[in-house]
Amino acid sequence: MKRFNLTILLLIAALGVNAQQAQTGVAGGHLLPSDKQIIVMVNSPGPGTKSLNIFRKYKSYEITKDQSGTGNFKKQAIITFPGSYAEFKKRAGASLADEFKIQVKAKDDAEAWAILQSTDIQKIGYFFLSKEFLEGIGMLWTDTDIKGNSAATAYRVSGIDAAGKSEVIYTEAISEVKRVPFPKFKLNRALVADSVVQFTWSVPAPAVNPAVFAAVYKKSSTSKNFTVAAERLLVYNRDDSLHVYFTERVKPGELLTYYVQPFDMAGNKGAGSDPTSHLTKSFKSIATITGFKVKDTTNALYLSWNSLPRQAVYSGIQVLKSRLAQKDFVVADTLSPNAVNYLDRKVLPNMVYYYQVRPLLVPYPGFKMLPTATAHGSLQVKKERPSKPGGLHATQDSTRSIVLSWDKNPELDLFAYYVLRGTSDKDMRIISPPVRDTVYRDSLKYLNGETQYLYAVQVMNLAQNMSDVSIPVGIRPLKAQYVASPGGVQSRWADRGVSLKWENTVAVYDNVIGYIVFRREKGEPLFKVISKVQRLPFFRDTVVISGKTYEYGITSVDAFANQSLLSPLTELLIPTDDFIAPPSDLYLSNKPEGVQLNWPANDKGNHYVIYRRQASSKTFSKVAAVENASSYLDKTVVPGVLYIYKIAALLDQTESRTGGEKAVRRLK
């Protein structure tokens, strides 16, 4: 018999939640394979029958296996219906047998045995979902010795009648078993109350469905791993969709996460649904703070209240504080949900403080802000000195002030800070008015840039008790001091360099230690520093260009790098003759092509610039520049015109003055 009634197969139990994590399953058939075992369906009743008794035609069934697929079948088991209720109890287990007897309302084993023999589907009910029950009545057999199995392994079921005649019911190989994908379920409906949860996961029904059963897993907010909440639930089909329904009783106030995982009749598992988290608590039944009190204690106010229930609905406890009874409350702190007290040290003596304490809830639909518990208290006067300020720093900013900053004292009953200044820790005096900040600026107006100053801070509380003086810090102001400028600056050209000398200010003023030389080309806006600090009142500048005019100035420098104003300037034109001179003579003659110029060669180079003008003009124009030559033919002249020529020498881009002028009239 090769056709099975799928209604019967849907009643077969799955093998548990620890089976192989496969993404495909088996949707009915003779063989139901998994990675742990092979379920072999012995036989099923014909269509339309109301009884599952398969032992009417055959008295027993023989199961054989061909492990290698070569046709060599070996006997594995003989399956029979139990001969008595005692035998059924032995096969299925005493626990299941006793549960069956209670469920079918049998008075004793004999009445239970009669109902079992009828195998009436309506009477037996959900016991057909139990693998142990089906094995007990001989409807299936499980092969757990599958280590040597392969895709070619085949099973054969034969029926044996009362006369001992055997007939093959079916033969099937593992390779013939069709596997299909599992659908992935999604949460469709959730009902969560204080003590019960109900969930329905759904998915559109596929054409072929291997998902017969489902397991539900859950995890609380205090546990690390998921555990089994429901080991075996039936997947049912309604409205063209598959559904899994789950309900259980829970403790109020738990944060629970659930997901469902389908599996087939052989125990192959599909993908789990996305986890979904829920709080088992309604907003109306959430407890608030009770027993809230405020008590005066040493330098603080002690707040206490009754503990909240240990429930996951709470995310913390918020403490609010104000000096007014009805408004201006600010958050003083946020504590853990398990806290039952709070010590507020930030209080002033004889000042009444009002407190509110309320639980904070985790973000969840329907949860609002809970009401607060309110109490008030005050701290008695304490004659204690405040702690001395710490973290004092002194810097100088761009506004020419000494900036002092320090850490804020932890006490709240403070009146003001006071800044002290002196040149040693024994002569420090208060220089500031009451400072209600942790920053103070001391003007440099009356400070000496050559003196090291010490600064410190004290603080006074509302009871006019003064703290000890903080640890002093020292700073010398970076303040410009008067430095005399050098006078009598002179310059002259000698030995191809500019020699400078000036008044020896170092010998006159004690604070002057040297000089710095500045230079600029005449007409430029800015000076450039051309020396390091000079100890002597003279300097030689050799990095100059002939023909340019330079201006020089000197500043004095003191030991703190303060400079004087720039001295009066001295100006000098750098001569060119020391570098290069024009030709000593010039010879002009008429040639057929133009005017011929000749001149004696210069011993420093043979580069020249030729200038020309007509006798009627006052301005010379550049005619040509020649290199490595001492003659030039001017072909651009006009016949009958009187021309005047002159020549300048050129060396390293420096042009000498021009030589003597010579005239010639171009022949017609």
Q: What is the CATH number of the domain that holds 593?
A: 2.60.40.10
Q: Sheet of 439-443: strands edge to edge?
A: 393-396, 401-405, 439-443
Q: For residue 385, is it within any domain?
A: no
- What single letter denotes the amino acid at residue 616? S
Tens-place pLDDT, residues 429-444: 999 999 999 999 998 8
The DSSP secondary-structure symbol of 53 reads: -
Average pLDDT of 81-92?
91
Return the pLDDT at 381: 67
Q: Helix/strand/coil (H, E, C) string of 248-307? A: EECCCCCEEEEEEEEECCCCCECCCCCCEEEECCCHHHCCCCCCCEEEEECCEEEEECCC
Q: Is residue 267 located within the same domain as residue 304?
A: no
Q: Which residue has the higher pLDDT, 476 or 516?
A: 516
**pLDDT category, 350, cuts 50, 70, 90?**
low
Last residue of a domain, one of 534, 549, 573: 573
Tens-place pLDDT, residues 287-336: 899 999 999 887 899 999 999 988 888 889 999 999 898 889 999 999 99
Q: For residue 383, is it within any domain?
A: no
Q: For residue 482, is it within any domain?
A: no
Q: For residue 73, is it within any domain?
A: yes
pTM value is 0.47
**pLDDT category, 281, cuts 50, 70, 90?**
confident
Q: Is residue 248 located within the same domain as residue 301?
A: no
For 297, the domain range is 284-378
Report how many domains make up the chain.
6
Among candidate residues 617, 616, 598, 618, the one with its CA nearest the CA of residue 608: 598
Residue 560 to residue 574: CA distance in whole angstroms: 36
Q: For residue 226, is it within any domain?
A: yes
Q: Is residue 593 located within the same domain as residue 469?
A: no
Q: Is residue 138 located within the same domain as residue 48?
A: yes
Q: For residue 640, is it within any domain?
A: yes
Whole-number percent of the chain with pLDDT over 90:
52
Average pLDDT of 585-589?
91
Q: For residue 217, is it within any domain?
A: yes
Q: Is residue 413 located within the same domain as residue 456?
A: yes
Residue 357 to residue 331: CA distance in whole angstroms: 10
Q: Is residue 40 located within the same domain as residue 171?
A: yes
Query: Does the pLDDT of residue 280 top 90, yes or no?
Result: no
Tens-place pLDDT, residues 145-158: 999 999 999 999 99
Q: Is residue 28 located within the same domain as residue 172?
A: yes
Return the pLDDT at 333: 94
Query: Does the pLDDT of residue 419 top 80, yes or no?
Result: yes
Return the pLDDT at 308: 92
Query: Does the pLDDT of residue 84 top 50, yes or no?
Result: yes
Return the pLDDT at 537: 93
Q: Is residue 526 located within the same domain as residue 655?
A: no
Whole-number percent of the chain with pLDDT over 70:
93
Q: For residue 388, is it within any domain?
A: no
Q: Which residue has the higher pLDDT, 268 or 56?
A: 268
Last residue of a domain, one of 228, 246, 280: 280
Return the pLDDT at 575: 80
Between 85-94, 165-174, 316-325, 600-609, the lowest mean confidence (pLDDT) is in 600-609
Give the HSE-up count for residue 174: Cα atoms under 13 Å, Cβ half-sphere: 19
Q: Is residue 166 located within the same domain as residue 48?
A: yes
Q: Is residue 141 located within the same domain as residue 18?
A: yes
Secondary structure of residue 556 in the 3-state scheme: strand
Return the pLDDT at 2: 35
Q: Is residue 194 located within the same domain as residue 317?
A: no
* Cβ atoms 656, 631 nearer than 8 A: no
Residue 124 to residue 103: CA distance in whole angstroms: 8
Last residue of a domain, one of 378, 407, 438: 378
Average pLDDT of 78-102?
91
Burial of 517 (0-12, 13-18, 19+ CB in 10 A): buried
Average pLDDT of 75-98?
92
Return the pLDDT at 48: 59
